[in-house]
């Protein structure tokens, strides 16, 4: 006798990646549609995970996102529905879109996830893991999407944030988005720091509404489902088709690891401690660069033009300051996402001393000859040494929301928030 799907209750994780292209689609939208199709078949969807992976992967379309759904139901039916959803919605016309779909009934070792978020993986590594786990999987075209899909079902989140993503009605895809700007600023003002990066107040820019032709209308990031819902409820916009709250590793700094200058690997992201060796210079395009060293090795740090006011902070560094540079190592530079000023050197300036007899400022008496008072002729050997005020303090500094990467933890999430 056939058992109806509603009575087959197997726990599974469904992972999907690489379904979009610069022309459209979004893996999270596909995931939200899939969740609804599974629910319609009386399956339970316990959790929808938005999993960001190494931001320096060159094949990514936008933010290197994959998704995983935690589902209870009939595995064969879920796999069938997931395959047909990918085949219907993924943008197969794009050469760079290589969808991957994975369904596992047992949880995978998280080692693959950590490698995918902090390093680079091979397609064959993903396939070996899936074969060993007796997973159901399908890799389309060159099958690269299996990397992200496998990492998504192997993911573990020691720290989490949430994002509500609202998706547009299909007939509006590719047209200008209608979202009330003022309501976005009000939503952030009311709920910050429980939600963040809806807008960039200092630069007067909306951050949460994309400009690409994909289905996303806007996304609100925050500490909990209820906080993102509070902010979302304040936003006036065109009607959405569907909305999904995702649990995510966004905003948690999981892509970062401790690194030593001289041992940094291309495309990995680090915390790197060093001493500033030269005054920051502003180059063509407004990009600011300086060098830090540790022992015999040095590395360039970059604050690019889009990091806006963060560059002003960087320009206040002077040789001898000790910092921790935080960011990805690419083409010989650390591209700064954040930095910690650990120690500031004393900056001093010298000038002729005051005459102890007539209290007038002395003048130089010639090279290496000390100082002389013009009024009374008194002589002094040493200058007056002045400690200059520094425009920086010890502590954390970050790029503004407009320049923030998905995985970067905003300082408003650092506890305690001051």
Which residues lie near ligand ATP (CB under 6 A)? 17-18, 20, 26-27, 53-54, 57, 59-65, 98, 100, 116, 120-121, 144-145, 147-148
Q: Given the complex with ligand ATP, which of 4 and 213 has the nearer CB atom?
A: 213
By beta-carbon proximity to ligand ATP, the closer residue of 90 and 288 is: 90
Give the CB-nearest residue to ligand ATP: 148
Q: Where are the beta strands (DSSP E) in 193-268?
A: 195-196, 199-200, 205-206, 216-222, 240-248, 256-259
CB 68 within 8 A of CB 15: yes
CB count within 10 Å of CB 138 equals 18
Shortest reach from residue 402's CB to ligand ATP, in Å:
18
Least Cβ distance, residue 214 to ligand ATP (angstroms)? 7
3-state secondary structure 118-152: HCCCCHHHHHHHHHHCCCEEEECCCCCHHHHHHHH
Reference 142, options 86, 90, 104, 95; nearest CA is: 95
Distance CA 16, CA 102 (A): 7
Residues in the chain: 418
Nearest approach in angstroms of CB 174 to ligand ATP is 15
Shortest Å distance, C-beta 386 to ligand ATP: 52
Based on CB atoms, which residue is closest to ligand ATP, 26 or 247? 26
| Closer residue to ligand ATP (CB): 207 or 344 | 207
Neighbours of 119 (CB within 10 A): 17
Rounded distance between C-alpha atoms, residue 18 and residue 65, angstroms: 8
Least CB distance to ligand ATP at residue 247 (A): 16
Closer to ligand ATP by Cβ: residue 30 or 341: 30
Q: With respect to ligand ATP, which residue has the nearer C-beta, 142 or 298?
A: 142
**In the complex, what is the shortest distance from the CB of residue 122 to ligand ATP, in angstroms, rounded to a whole number?**
7
């Amino acid at each position: 006798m056939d058992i109806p799907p509603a009575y087959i209750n197997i726990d599974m994780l469904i992972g999907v990646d690489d379904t979009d292209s610069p022309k459209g689609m979004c893996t999270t939208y596909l995931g939200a549609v899939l969740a609804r199709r599974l629910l319609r078949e009386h399956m339970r969807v316990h959790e929808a995970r938005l999993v960001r992976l190494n931001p320096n992967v060159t094949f990514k379309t936008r933010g290197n996102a994959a998704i995983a759904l935690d589902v209870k139901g009939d595995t064969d039916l879920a796999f069938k529905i997931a395959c047909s959803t990918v085949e219907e919605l993924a943008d197969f016309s794009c050469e760079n879109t290589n969808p991957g779909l994975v369904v596992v009934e047992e949880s995978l070792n998280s080692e693959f996830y950590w490698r995918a978020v902090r390093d680079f993986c091979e397609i064959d590594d993903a396939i070996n893991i899936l074969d060993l786990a007796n997973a159901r999987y399908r890799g389309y075209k060159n099958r690269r999407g299996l990397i992200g899909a496998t990492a998504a079902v192997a993911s573990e989140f020691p720290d989490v944030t949430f994002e509500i993503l609202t998706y547009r009605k299909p007939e509006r895809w590719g047209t200008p988005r209608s979202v009330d700007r003022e309501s976005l600023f009000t939503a952030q003002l009311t709920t910050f720091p429980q939600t963040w990066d809806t807008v960039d107040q200092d630069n007067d820019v909306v951050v949460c509404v994309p400009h690409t032709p994909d289905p996303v209308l806007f996304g609100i990031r925050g500490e909990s489902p209820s906080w993102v819902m509070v902010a979302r409820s304040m936003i006036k916009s065109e009607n959405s088709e569907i909305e999904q709250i995702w649990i995510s590793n966004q905003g948690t700094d999981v892509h970062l690891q401790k690194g030593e200058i001289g041992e940094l690997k291309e495309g990995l992201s680090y915390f790197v401690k060093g001493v500033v060796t030269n005054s920051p210079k502003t180059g063509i395009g407004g990009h600011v660069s300086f060098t830090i060293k540790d022992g015999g090795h040095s590395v360039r740090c970059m604050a690019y033009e889009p990091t806006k006011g963060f560059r002003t902070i960087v320009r206040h560094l002077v040789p001898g300051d000790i910092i921790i540079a935080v960011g990805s190592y690419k083409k010989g530079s650390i591209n700064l996402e954040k930095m910690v000023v650990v120690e500031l050197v004393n900056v001093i300036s010298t000038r002729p001393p005051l005459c102890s007899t007539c209290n007038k400022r002395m003048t130089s008496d010639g090279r290496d000859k000390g100082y002389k008072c013009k009024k009374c002729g008194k002589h002094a050997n040493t200058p007056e040494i002045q400690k200059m005020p520094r425009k920086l303090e010890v502590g954390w500094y970050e790029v503004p929301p407009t320049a923030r990467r998905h995985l970067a933890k905003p300082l408003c999430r650092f506890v305690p928030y001051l």
